[in-house]
Amino acid sequence: MSTAFPVPAPRAGAPRVVVVGGGVLGASTAAHLARAGARVDLVTEAEVASGASGRSLSWLNSAGARTDAYHLLRTVGIDRYRTFLARTGLGDRVRFDGGLTWAGPGESHKERHAHELSIGYDSVWLSPGEVAAWTPGVDAAAIAQEGAVFNPGEGWVDLPLLVDALLGQLRAAGGEVHTGTGRAVPLVTGGRATGVRTASGRTFPADAVVLATGPGVPRDLAGLGVHVPDSSPVSLLLETRPLEHPLRAVLNTPRVALRPTPRGTFVLDSGWSEEEVVVHAEGEYEVRGSTVEGLLAEASRVLAGNPRLEVARRGVGRKPIPGDGEPVAGALPEVVGLHVLFTHSGATLGLVLGEFTAREVLGERVPLLEPFRPQRFATAGS
């Protein structure tokens, strides 16, 4: 597979960087670093994309209300996907077919639509009867009577396939990928990150370390005496068996969110189904059959033709969300050479945060990251 990105010539004195984490943030950062000429090792506890990136709805968006800085970062993140798609032609793993949402009983999305228009976000208000002309595959009877918001510029990404493409770029640029290492922790000497040590006992020396372990970041930083608030909940994602269906957009409805995949399947999740997951004292997760059947029924109800859906795969585990809901990205003041990535919306931000982190590891300071640096928590607690 052609990466459609130039491969750098070996650079004398290039920094050695270890990236910890095999999800989209780790893979993106590693690929950007290697393409810039760094010597890169990516280490991951299990297999690549086996954590949060493997159970994400992966909706590419900046819908609704959020801070100006976060909205800007997300829109830049979406732009990077368009560039990636144009450079690689990998339309099987990145699609821009829009996103459709409507409100639940007693709620309204009129204010959301007005807000999106006020900030220039592409937003179209549709009556139930108009939806099919904009985005086929939705059962009009399931749409709220007031109508729905369609965002034509939104899309989705298949993160496991994207990670595979990014790691292909990493290897083409001379980087190495080490899977199944067990938990890897940063090594700190004299207040500086000097590498990582894995559970298997292997040590990877480094001039800089990037920690991108999803919901494990707060735990890993706590071991260094650094506190980052954590609101990571349990997530549950179902993937159906393949079926022929015209839906191409992402749907975010009151009872289910879903999108198609390159495999001809659907992936789906919801807030209520995640709340029904039982977390046992040993850290094991239990998903009740009634939860699975209920989620499948809700998905069928919003799809045109109300097809019978069957589960092919389910993923359950913690979804990374910082305590204040905003990304945590940047160098750690307490440890020179240690950079962290911990965020919700890892799909939307995956490419841009990897790019920005690589630039900062190599000595540049990126202004768009200023509101999201980890030291904001130390300031808040002082």
DSSP sequence for 124-142? EEE-GGGHHHHS-SB-GGG
Amino acid at 309: L
What are the structure tokens assigned to 145, written together? Answer: 């009577």
The whole-chain average pLDDT of the chain stands at: 95
pTM of the model: 0.96
pLDDT tier, 108 (very low <50, low <70, confident <90, very high otherwise): very high
Confidence (pLDDT) at 1: 40
Confidence (pLDDT) at 382: 45
Residue extents of the structural domains in the chain: 16-54+159-230+323-381, 99-152+233-318
DSSP classification of residue 262: T
pLDDT tier, 22 (very low <50, low <70, confident <90, very high otherwise): very high
- Three-state SS at 111: helix
Is residue 34 within 8 Å of residue 167, measured between CB atoms? no
Confidence (pLDDT) at 6: 74
Is residue 359 within 8 Å of residue 369, measured between CB atoms? no
- For the segment 315-370, what is each residue's pLDDT rounded down to a tens digit? 999 999 999 999 999 999 999 999 999 999 999 999 999 999 999 999 999 999 99
Confidence (pLDDT) at 10: 56
- Region 99-152+233-318: CATH code: 3.30.9.10
Confidence (pLDDT) at 378: 83
CATH superfamily of domain region 16-54+159-230+323-381? FAD/NAD(P)-binding domain (3.50.50.60)
Is residue 102 within 8 Å of residue 147, measured between CB atoms? yes
Task: Report CA-CA distances (Å) from 165 to 31, 59, 171.
Answer: 9, 18, 10
312 CB neighbour count, 10 Å cutoff: 13
Q: CA 332, CA 191: separation in Å to the nearest integer?
A: 11
262 CB neighbour count, 10 Å cutoff: 13
Residue 380 pLDDT exceeds 60: no
Confidence (pLDDT) at 379: 60
pLDDT-above-70 percentage for the chain: 96
